[in-house]
Chains A and B, each alone.
Chain A
Amino acid sequence: MSKIKVTDLYKQYGDNHVLKGVNLEVKDNEVVVVIGPSGSGKSTLLRSLNKLEEPTSGSIVVHGEDIAKKDANIDKIREQIGMVFQHFNLFHNLDVGKNIMLAPVELGKLNKQDAEKQAKKLLKVVGLENKFNASVDSLSGGQQQRIAIARALAMNPDIMLFDEPTSALDPEMVGDVLQVMKDLAKEGMTMVVVTHEMGFAKEVADRVVFVDEGKIMESGTPDDIFNHPKNPRLKEFLSKILAV
């Protein structure tokens, strides 16, 4: 069954055409990794999936509802889509526990006690059970990103979007964050991940999607993409990053 179905998605800012007709389907429990050079439109594609970017045209059906429509109840749908950002975006005015508890309590999903219990459980999942009362700014980048994942999970989403989650991290922090993501994938979470971590893509992805110049140029299993690339731009892209 398909969780997300993107059809003919276009996005432009003024004269700048960022997405030029993207079609993408994400199935239940599927892990899709989106790769591509910077400026190719992959982040815009991801951010369109929960309408942080307003599409210019096309349809994006999530849970059977087309969120590209103006009257879509986007808040309701976002509750079911967790998102993790490159720069974590933890709320600086709240401590770690309150960051995780905010949405479930404010949106009436859980009462305070239950939300606190859940937050502590989630902190354990991401390996930071002793940070409940810590202030956000006292944490390292890797810790902040794991808190951000916990915060997204607190709404109990069935889709998780990751927008270059490890790009802003010091190299020694990357492993911890990727481990949390691998565990999530193992539990059957539906995930769309924009990343430059090719190792993660090879190991975890069910499908890898190569985006360039606002279009999906090639899509397939990690083996297809990394070992038998067909598209010349993909070949060029891979040769550049694997040479490093």
Chain B
Amino acid sequence: MKRHSFTSHCVLAMACGLIIALSLFAAPTKTHAAEKTYEIGTDVTFPPFEYANDNNKYVGIDMDLIRAIAKDQHFNVDIKPLGFNAAIQAVQAGQADGVLAGMSVTPERKGTFDFSNPYYNSGVVMGVAQNNNSTKSLNDLKGKTVAVKTGTTGAQYAQSIQKKYGFKISTFDDSNNVYEDVMTGNSVACFDDQPVLKYGINQGTQLKIVTKPAAGTPIGFGVKKGQNQELLKKFNTGLANLKKNGQYQKILDKYLNAKKSTTDNHSFFGILNQNKVFLWQGFLQTLWLTIVSIVFATIIGVFFGLLGVLPMKFFQGLSTTFIYVFRGLPLIVLALFIYTGIPTLIGTKIPAFTAGVITLMLDEGAYIAAFVKGGIQSVEKGQMEAARSLGLPFGKAMRKVVLPQGIKLIVPSFINQFIITLKDTSILSVIGIIELTQTGKIIIARNLEGFKVWAMVALIYLIVITLLTWLSNWGKRRTKI
């Protein structure tokens, strides 16, 4: 009996703690207002349909439209700038009620979405660098590379004519990266929706449009097939009302004819100054995400690490499996799986932050479990034998002799893992958490100053990691390792 008491106590205490902690996060956060609130997934970077303005509020044709419709039809919207692909998946997983992201109505998408009446008709145009005078038509693309944004009609159009014109395709997640790729000359041209590219050029992107709009497609608001029909109806009615009272045209004019705002200071410090609050918030979110995740990852990692050194095959197997599975999965896959997969399984939404914490908890937890297990196992076998030979039970021998020596070996790895976790939080931008990296993406979507903004973001990461490294060296000296 005695031999098992250490194990069972530990298992019980840790399991309880974990469940309580997780249930705090997973607790339903729905509010029941008089007017129904719908969660609308959208893109982070698709001007003029949606982008964050100078005050980092989401604006654009889609945003103004949905807010006006919501007002007209008496409901509330909660805008989730997830990115186009993630927004689509979020709707399919039931994490969001609808997607409004300049989405073209295609037969393929009609298989999984119900669409509203189209609110815009778009066409794909080809853009080339301003100083490029040799690429004038599709016929000039043979053997060259073109850039497109994933999931857009531009990308589909490019694929449909790829064989005919014999070019290669590079895909990116953001419009800005697409434009940068053309401006730097990696790609010779890009395909994008006309209003999107036009807006970019109005904002100072060094590209020009060389073809007429092709492959014109209607753009609509989508909900999961068979779901949220009430919302769809409200959207259609509201849209009709706006068209009637002229508000619709006003919104289109506002964004399609927008000129580059002259008040913007596009120098490094100008951008920094303008976005310091937003960047600071993103940084705090990154830090908070890191701290919460590392706490849970430590709990679960130490738990599974200890299971791995118990003299029972079953627990060792459990530990090995946990480490194998979660260390083997790419973080981005795990994040998307948890964010879109778990709601499908259990039928309720989970907040992106919770999904992010669970993701990091499992991934970093697996690494922590591995080095906790390794650290304890690297304590000489003779230490345990000597303790047991004196009559100490396994648990006491572990706590008094083996663990204190194992922990000394583990401490540096812990600090290292903390730094890795901080960096890994950036991957959670794929599920729409507005941490530092996502903040950078949003700012760039507005000002199209990719190089300067990424430099800022990189600098912030480096500064924090430098501080953490100093802290870790100080910690190492303190523990005399």
Residues of A within 8 A of B (CB): 50, 52, 75-76, 78-79, 81-83, 85, 87, 89-94, 102-103, 106-107, 148, 151-152, 155
Contacts and interface: CB of A to CB of B under 8 A. Distances in A.
A85 B391 contact: no
B68 interface: no
A239 B436 CA distance: 77
A69 B387 CA distance: 21
Contact of B2 (A75, A90, A103): A75
Interface in B363-400: 380, 382-383, 385-393, 396, 400
13 contacts: A50-B389, A75-B2, A75-B392, A82-B390, A83-B389, A85-B385, A89-B386, A92-B383, A93-B408, A102-B390, A107-B390, A148-B386, A152-B389
Interface string B417-436: 00000000000000000000
B242 interface: no
B36 to A, nearest CB: 61
Contacts of A50: 389
B401 interface: yes
Given A89-B380, A102-B400, A152 B385 contact: no
Given A75-B2, A106-B396, A87 B391 contact: no
Interface of B: 2-3, 380, 382-383, 385-393, 396, 400-401, 404-405, 408
A87 B382 contact: yes
A89 B382 contact: yes
B391 A89 contact: no
A79 B387 contact: no
A155 B390 contact: yes
Chain B, interface SS category: helix
Contacts of B382: 85, 87, 89
A91 B386 contact: yes
A168 to B, nearest CB: 11
Contact of B391 (A75, A90, A93, A148): A75
Contacts of B3: 75
A52 B387 CA distance: 11
A91 B401 contact: yes
B326 to A, nearest CB: 31
Contacts of B389: 50, 52, 78, 81-83, 152
A167 B408 CA distance: 30
A78 B387 contact: no
Contacts of A102: 387, 390, 392, 400-401
Nearest to A77: B391
Nearest to B404: A93
Contacts of A90: 386
Contacts of B387: 91, 102-103
Contact of A93 (B2, B386, B392, B401): B401
A85 B386 CA distance: 8
Contacts of A78: 388-391
Contacts of B405: 92-93
Contacts of A89: 380, 382-383, 385-386
Nearest to A80: B391
Nearest to B382: A89
A89 B386 CA distance: 6
B383 A75 contact: no
The 8 closest A-B pairs by CB, nearest first: A79-B391, A89-B386, A89-B382, A103-B390, A83-B389, A93-B404, A78-B391, A93-B405
Nearest to A151: B390
A236 B391 CA distance: 39
A93 B383 CA distance: 10
A97 to B, nearest CB: 15
B245 to A, nearest CB: 78
Given A85-B385, A89-B385, A91-B386, A106 B392 contact: yes
Contacts of B391: 75-76, 78-79, 103, 107, 155
Contact of A106 (B383, B400, B404): B400
Which of A81, A85, A93, A152 has the most chain B CB within a 10 Å cutoff? Answer: A93
Contacts of A81: 389
B401 A103 contact: no
A28 to B, nearest CB: 21
Nearest to B385: A52
Contacts of A92: 383, 405
Contacts of A103: 387, 390-392
A155 B393 CA distance: 14
Contacts of A52: 385, 388-389
A27 B386 CA distance: 25
Given A75-B2, A91-B386, 9 more contacts: A78-B390, A78-B391, A79-B390, A89-B382, A89-B385, A89-B386, A90-B386, A102-B400, A103-B392
B404 to A, nearest CB: 4
Nearest to B403: A93
A240 B217 CA distance: 95
A81 B404 CA distance: 26
A103 B400 CA distance: 10
B164 to A, nearest CB: 66
Contacts of A152: 389-390
A90 B388 CA distance: 12
Nearest to B394: A75
B411 to A, nearest CB: 14
Nearest to B384: A89
A28 B93 CA distance: 76
A4 B112 CA distance: 78
